[in-house]
Structure 1
Amino acid sequence: MFENENLPARKGFLVGVNGSFDMPGADMAKRFGPGYRVGLSCHYKTKSNWVFGMKLDFLNGSSIREDSLFSGVIGPDSTFINQDGQRLYVQKFKRGFMLGAEAGYIFRLTPKLQDAGILVMTGAGFMQHRILIKDKSESIVALQGDYRKGYDRLTNGIYVEQYVGYVFLSNTGLVNFHLGLDVVAGFTQGRRDFLYDVRRPGTDKRVDIMFGVRGGWILPIFKRKSEDYYFE
């Protein structure tokens, strides 16, 4: 079986599994260090190479820059003391998600690959992030129940995103991927009424920036006619 090199551009759904490595900027850099995102997407591609759809990303990371987070409740060795007098460490992680809509266009580079080229995409939606505080022993009183909310810095709001990269959708359907750069700007606000460590409300408005290297694997679902191929 051979490919027809003059196949027209196809229309159909593009289901993707995506990942990115992010460097923070603006207010995000004051709270978190480098992180990563993993997620899913579903887009519809037209024959004229317009692309639009939805995506869901999960934000992750282990670099936390809020130095004052537990001031006043930990000892000089950065440990908590539980009810039994034991010294315990806690783990802190970045967690969150982004849910939004996207639209873009594929600029073809060669007529032999009608569905491949430079993909320019813009998106917008809702984002949320917080500091996940992990007390494995579940015995630190200062972090039990609603007390933990006074430290987690829950933040959410709208975001916009710009992506430029290369997308490859092979004529045979065997290799399909995208890789590029993106920038996320979140216009967010803290959602906690009171932060225990700094003794004030945590409702500041923020600008959360992420610069990412983004890529993913794509499963295209195209409806093809049998005459698109010939056999030898």
Structure 2
Amino acid sequence: MMRNILVLLAFLISNAQAQENTKDPIIFLAPHYNFHIPSWDLAKQYGMFSSIGLEGLRINSSNLVYGIGVDFIAGGTIKDTNLLSHLEDERGYIITEDGKVAEILLYQRGYNLQLKGGYFKALSTPSSGLLALGGIGFTQYKTKIVVRDDNVPALNSEHIKMYDHLTNGLNTSGFLGYLHINEKNRFHFYAGIEMHRAFTYNRRSYNYSSNGAEKQLRNDFSTSLKIGWIIPISKRSTTEYYYY
């Protein structure tokens, strides 16, 4: 009888410890990639684009999630095909100081910086399940104009600001996806759908395309497929776990 009681007590203690351990925080870094489809005002300027970034997140004992994230934006589709047309000659070329045809490249460039918060719902294991995140922060983007050999006077470092549409403002986001941490093979990832909405303003005092300042509030929106690789710092486990 005493032996059975001791066995039962040992089982209850072991089970309680295991349950307590499942409440250990999960802390991880996550380099990630997003493929964005723009809409609203953002789609008037740019086509589909990508971003790469890094998030640092912590899931506490109540499954609340918080952290910080940064993304760097890169795209190659500029919708305004007449952005520099007034600089072209009758053949449609922009000419350098040397009388040669200038090589000019246009890109979309920018970044997002956000504070993150949300909730994690464990499913198959204490470290895998649904992840819902919201974010708020700052975004900035522009049309980057690259002039090879930098020999077009009309596109020097000051004049180029008339064409780059430098824009920034408040950025919000929402993410819903799946987070997976595998103790056996260290195959850790998360993936899902993320939406961004930004409330921005053009910050240039003069824009050539509008012959003045653009003071109206912009509603920039994008929907993206997001996938990231997880680098755990700590995770929920009933055994010690070391990371490199």
**Structure 2 length as normaliser, TM-score?**
0.85
Question: Which residue in 1 is equivalent to 2:53?
Answer: 39
Q: Decide whether the 8 Å contact of 2:21 with 2:238 is kept in 1.
A: no
Equivalence map 1:69-84=2 (5 Å): 69-84=83-98
Off by >4 Å, runs of 4+ in structure 1: 223-229
Q: 1:49 pairs with 41, 52, 63, which one?
A: 63
Q: Decide whether the 8 Å contact of 1:21 with 1:34 is kept in 2.
A: yes
Question: Which residue in 1 is equivalent to 2:7?
Answer: none
Residue 86 of structure 2: SS of its match in structure 1?
coil
Q: 2:134 pairs with 122, 144, 149, which one?
A: 122
Distance of 2:209 and 2:62 partners within structure 1:
55
Quote how far apart the aligned CAs of 1:228 are.
Answer: 5.8
Is 2:163 the partner of 1:151?
A: yes
Per-residue Cα deviation, 1:23-55 (whole angstroms, up to 9, x for no partner) = 000000000000001011111121232210000
Change (3 A) 1:144 1:45: same
Distance of 1:89 and 1:214 partners within structure 2:
34
Distance of 1:88 and 1:227 partners within structure 2:
63
Residue 81 of structure 1: SS of its match in structure 2?
coil
Q: How many residues align?
A: 224
Is 2:126 the partner of 1:105?
A: no
Is 2:234 the partner of 1:222?
A: yes
Change (3 A) 1:198 1:73: farther
Question: Which residue in 2 is equivalent to 1:59?
Answer: 73
Quote how far apart the aligned CAs of 1:202 are.
Answer: 3.1
Q: Decide whether the 8 Å contact of 2:74 with 2:107 is kept in 1.
A: yes
**When you count helix as a share of all residues, which structure comes out higher?**
2
Is 2:179 the partner of 1:167?
A: yes
Q: Higher Cα Rg: structure 1 or 2?
A: 2
Question: Which residue in 2 is equivalent to 1:189?
Answer: 201
Distance of 2:166 and 2:66 partners within structure 1:
30
Residue 119 of structure 1: SS of its match in structure 2?
strand
Give the % identical residues: 28
Distance of 2:210 and 2:29 partners within structure 1:
44
What's the C-alpha RMSD, in Å, of the aligned pairs? 2.2
Quote how far apart the aligned CAs of 1:83 are.
Answer: 1.2
Q: Decide whether the 8 Å contact of 1:44 with 1:51 is kept in 2.
A: yes
**When you count strand as a share of all residues, which structure comes out higher?**
1
Q: Decide whether the 8 Å contact of 1:49 with 1:115 is kept in 2.
A: no
Change (3 A) 1:227 1:36: closer
Distance of 2:79 and 2:239 partners within structure 1:
59
Per-residue Cα deviation, 1:165-216 (whole angstroms, up to 9, x for no partner) = 0100123471111000011000000000111233121333201101100010
Residue ranges of structure 2 left out of the alignment (5+ in a row): 1-17
Quote how far apart the aligned CAs of 1:104 are.
Answer: 1.2
Quote how far apart the aligned CAs of 1:157 are.
Answer: 0.1
- Specify the code of the residue in structure 1 equivalent to 2:53: G
